[in-house]
Structure 1
Amino acid sequence: MIKRNVLISGGSGFIGKRLTSLLIQKGYSVSILSRNEKQNTAEISYYKWDVSTQFIEEDAVLKADYVIHLAGENIAEKRWTKKRKYEIITSREQSTQLIYSVLKKNNKVLEAFVSASAIGIYGAVNGAEICTEETPPANDFLGYTCQKWEGSLDFIEYLHIRTVKIRTGLVLGKDDGFLKKLLPVFKRRLGAALGSGNQYMPWIHVDDLCNMYCHAIANSSMVGPYNAAINDNTNNTIFSKTLAKVLGYSLWLPNVPAFLIKLAMGEMAKIVLTGRRVSSDKIESTGFQFKYKKLDEALKDCLAK
C-alpha cells in the first residue's frame, strides 16, 4: 500500500522533529522543506527551498497529500526592532505564498493544508476572559502578526483545499521549547515569577500538539482555527511554583520586577508579562483528547531523563 505523504515546512525545528517521528510511527511518509542540503533517509525525503528568493523544489509539493506548515521566524528569538517585526511577518506570509504558487501553477489539490498560528492573535493583554476561536483579533503587534499569518492562508482556501489553523500556546517539551530558557535558572533554585505573576500562561505539551496536527490531517471535518492550549487557570505564579516543586524546592525569591524585564527585552517583554485564557472546547468537540491536562504531569514528563 502506498503511504500518504506529508510535507512539513519548518520540519527541522523543535516541533517539526517530534512531529516527523510521530507521523512516521503512524505510517505516513514525510518530506521536509529545508534551506540546507540534507541527505535523504529511508523514511524522510528532503527538498530545498529559500523563502527569501522564492525558490522551492516543486516536486516536494507535487508529491504531497498533505502540507503541515510550521515555517516562520521565531517570534521570541530577538528584540522587536522595526526590521525584526518585518522579518517575523514576512517570513510567514512569503513562505505560504511560495507553496501556494506551486499549488496554483500545477493545479495541485491537497487533501489538507494545516498551518501553525498562535494564541497571540488574541493580543498581548491580561484578563480573565476565556478566548474562543470567535474572539476578535487584537490590534497590537502579536494580533496583527497572527492576522497576517492566517490571512495568507486564504489563498490556499481559494484553491478549494481544506485549511486548518492551529493557534498554539506555550509549548512544553524535553530539552527545547519554552522550558529551554527557564530550566537553567530554575535548576539553580533561582526561579521566580515574572512581573505581577497574574498573567495567564496557556500551555500545551509538545506531544499533544503533534497529535493535534495528526488529528487535523486525518479528520476531514476540521476546518478553520482551533486553539491548541489547555484551558485551565495557570498563571505565571502558578507555573513558576509548579516548576519549582517538580524540581524539588519552593520558590523563595521575590517576583522579577516588570521594569527589569522590559529593560532586558524591550517591547518583546509583552510575551512574558501578558497572557490570556483560551478555550479548548472546539478542538475537543472533534474527538481530540489531550494526554496532558495537568501542568505538574506535563512538566514531570518534560523533565524525565
Structure 2
Amino acid sequence: MKKNVLLTGGTGFVGKELTKVLINSGYTVSILSRSKRENTASIFYYTWDIQKQTIEKDAVLNADYIIHLAGANIAEKPWTNKRKEEIINSRQQSAQLIYSVLKKNGKKLDAFISASAVGIYGAVNGEEICTEDMPLANDFLGLTCQKWEAAADQFEKLGIRTAKVRTGLVLGKNDGFLNKLSPIFKWRLGSALGSGKQYMPWIHVEDLCALYLEAVKNPNVVGPYNAAINDNTTNAVFSKTLAKVYGYKIWLPNVPGFLIKIVLGEMAKIVLTGRRVSSDKVEQLGFQFKHTDLEKTLRNCL
C-alpha cells in the first residue's frame, strides 16, 4: 500500500507543485478543498469548511502524513482589523479542525508538517542572521506566525512528529512572488523599493517541495526549519538582477517608502522590511538546495 499524504492548501501554487512531487515519489495524495472535485488515479479530493468547522473526516483518517499549507494570503488585501483576524483564523482554525478529528478518533499520523514563514522574525530590517532558536517578534507578522506554529505544536501532544517550515519568498514559473512583479520589470519599469537595503530571503518552489518531501521521509525532521537561501539578497540586488534577466539596467529611482505606505498602509511592511535568515539547520540534515544562484533561478522561472 502506498502511503497517503493529505494536503491542505493543495490547490494553491505550492500545493500544486508539491502534489506532483509526492506522486512522482510514490505517494498518493488527498486534498482538502472548499468545493467538491473529481478524484483522479492518484489524487483524492475531500471537502471542508473552516468557518463552519466541518470536514469529511475520512480525509484525515485515511492519511499517513498531513502537510498543512492552508492560510489566507497575507498580501492579497489591506490589513484591516477584520483582514488580520481572517489571516490568523485561517491558519489556526484549519489546524484545530484537523486536530479535533485526530483526537476524537484516536488516529495516529506518521507526521504533521506545517507551513510557516520567516515573518516570524519580524517586519524589521537589520544585519542579524535569524536562526530557528532566536527570540521571535511580537509584531503582526511575528505573532501571526507564532500562532500558526502553536496550532501545529498541539499535534505533538498526540505523539505525532511535528515539523514547521518557515518559508521565504517562493519563486517559480507563472506564479508565486514573481507573478505580480514580472510584468512591471518586463515593461522596463522596475526599480528598488524604499531604501532597497531590506533583505529578501527566497527559495525556488522546487527546493521548497523537496524540503517538504524530506520532512515526510526523514524521521529526524522535527521542529522549525528556515526554508530560504542564505545569500544576503537585498531588494536592490533582486531588482537589479531581475532587470538584467529582462535585458536592461534599472533607470528609474527607488520607489519612495512613503508612497508605498500610502498605497499599501501597514501591509507595506511586507516589501519595505526583510531579515537575513540562516539555512544551516536544514543543511545539517544533508539537504542540498538545487537553486542557489539568483540570476540562474530567475531565468529558470521566467
The aligned residue for residue 294 of structure 1 is 293
How much does 1:153 deviate? 1.4
The aligned residue for residue 93 of structure 1 is 92
- The structure 1 segments of at least 4 consecutive aligned residues displaced by more than 4 Å after TM superposition are none
- Cα displacement string for residues 60-87 of structure 1 (whole angstroms, at most 9, x for unaligned residues): 0111110000001001100000000000
User: Letter of the aligned partner of 2:295 in structure 1?
Assistant: D
User: Letter of the aligned partner of 1:225 in structure 2?
Assistant: P
The aligned residue for residue 131 of structure 1 is 130
The aligned residue for residue 268 of structure 1 is 267
The aligned residue for residue 249 of structure 2 is 250
Give the whole-Å Cα distance in 2 for the aligned partners of 1:183 and 1:298. 14
Give the whole-Å Cα distance in 2 for the aligned partners of 1:154 and 1:255. 41
- Cα displacement string for residues 137-175 of structure 1 (whole angstroms, at most 9, x for unaligned residues): 101000010011101112211001000000000000111
The aligned residue for residue 166 of structure 1 is 165
1:233 aligns with 2:229: no
Give 1:53-64 correspondences, 5 Å limit. 53-64=52-63
Give 1:1-305 correspondences, 5 Å limit. 2-303=1-302
- Cα displacement string for residues 250-288 of structure 1 (whole angstroms, at most 9, x for unaligned residues): 111000000110011000000000000000000000011
How much does 1:198 deviate? 0.2
Give the whole-Å Cα distance in 2 for the aligned partners of 1:243 and 1:3. 42
Give the whole-Å Cα distance in 2 for the aligned partners of 1:233 and 1:12. 31
User: Letter of the aligned partner of 2:27 in structure 1?
Assistant: Y
Secondary structure of residue in 1 paired with 2:51: helix
User: Letter of the aligned partner of 2:300 in structure 1?
Assistant: D
Secondary structure of residue in 2 paired with 1:153: helix
| RMSD between superposed Cα atoms in Å | 0.5
How much does 1:48 deviate? 0.3
How much does 1:247 deviate? 1.0
How much does 1:15 deviate? 0.3
Give the whole-Å Cα distance in 2 for the aligned partners of 1:170 and 1:264. 21
Q: Normalised by the size of structure 1, how large is the TM-score?
A: 0.98
- Cα displacement string for residues 25-69 of structure 1 (whole angstroms, at most 9, x for unaligned residues): 111000000001100011100000000000000100111110000
Give the whole-Å Cα distance in 2 for the aligned partners of 1:154 and 1:17. 25
Give the whole-Å Cα distance in 2 for the aligned partners of 1:139 and 1:105. 33
Identify unmatched segments of 5+ residues in structure 1. Answer: none
- Cα displacement string for residues 185-231 of structure 1 (whole angstroms, at most 9, x for unaligned residues): 00000000000000000000000001000000100011000000000
Secondary structure of residue in 2 paired with 1:52: coil
Give the whole-Å Cα distance in 2 for the aligned partners of 1:26 and 1:296. 29
Give the whole-Å Cα distance in 2 for the aligned partners of 1:256 and 1:154. 40
User: Letter of the aligned partner of 1:47 in structure 2?
Assistant: Y
User: Letter of the aligned partner of 1:302 in structure 2?
Assistant: C
Secondary structure of residue in 2 paired with 1:231: coil
Identify unmatched segments of 5+ residues in structure 2. Answer: none
Give the whole-Å Cα distance in 2 for the aligned partners of 1:233 and 1:104. 43
- How many residues align? The count is 302
What's the % identity of the aligned pairs?
Answer: 70
Secondary structure of residue in 1 paired with 2:129: strand
User: Letter of the aligned partner of 1:139 in structure 2?
Assistant: N
How much does 1:176 deviate? 0.7
